[in-house]
Amino acid sequence: MTSRRLAGAVALVTGASSGIGAAAARRLAGAGARVFLSGRDPERLAAVAAASGGTAIPCDLTDPERTKALAGRVLDCAGRVDILVNNAGQGFAGPLTGMTDAQIQALVAANLTAPMLLARAVLPGMLDRGSGRLGFVGSIAGRLGVREEAVYAGTKAGLSVFADSLRKETTGRGIVVTELVPAVVDTPFFARRGRPYPRRRPRPVPAERAADALLTGMLTGRHEVCLPRWMVLPIAVRATLPATYRRLADRFG
């Protein structure tokens, strides 16, 4: 990242109490940005904010009204948002039939509705200024589908198409829309979803590496960043040879 390009910028990072969000907040603050951090864990969020010099705003993004209030508070405090990192998300591992209504609604709200609401809130100012950067943390699950993660994968697939559609909507108006498509990141995500990561490949990557990949992509105008890079291969196979991909996926998981 280039400090000169971030100095004085106003950034809002969601899911910033740990993992990718916390790493992104530290990187942005270290490069001179004014950072607002949002997360569900007030104590951990406050610790990250104190270490980075940012402003902590605890918020439960499963509540649309609180999500809109978060955006309003940041805009009231800073007057604008130049960089939005939509990182917050929830997971669930298990069969669809084992999910409650509340669990399904929470995943859709946090993973899909909240990023839409936040992007809608900050985009008008970005368009007026002719500049802005929107980052979305997707998932390989949203591109390939994962057994017993149907709702999670569905929300991430929706987020991916939303980001791509928003990119087309804002083409030529100074807006950069970047999606990070990680396979596995070493964060508390798997513990929170109720099931540890069971595979040897792909190996989990550090949260700092994921945050750097996303922020670098946003600063250099990339539309999509796969992590690790070789994940573009199964995505390409599924897109070009869907029947072959499904046979392989059914056989090898």
**Cα gap 152→195, rounded to integer Å:** 14
In this structure, what token pair is assigned to residue 232?
Answer: 């573009």
Q: Is 152 a catalytic residue?
A: yes
**Cα gap 15→124, rounded to integer Å:** 23
Query: Residue 80 has what DSSP assignment?
Result: -
Enumerate residues 6+ apart whose C-beta is below 8 A from 94: 148, 194, 195
Kind plus residue range of the DSSP H or E element containing 39: strand 34-39
Enumerate residues 6+ apart whose C-beta is below 8 A from 32: 3, 6, 7, 8, 9
Whether residue 176 contacts residue 217, with contact meaning beta carbons closer than 8 Å, is answered with no
Q: Which of 36, 92, 136, 152 is catalytic?
A: 152
The DSSP result for 204-217, as a single string, is PEEHHHHHHHHHHH
| Active site (catalytic) residues | 152
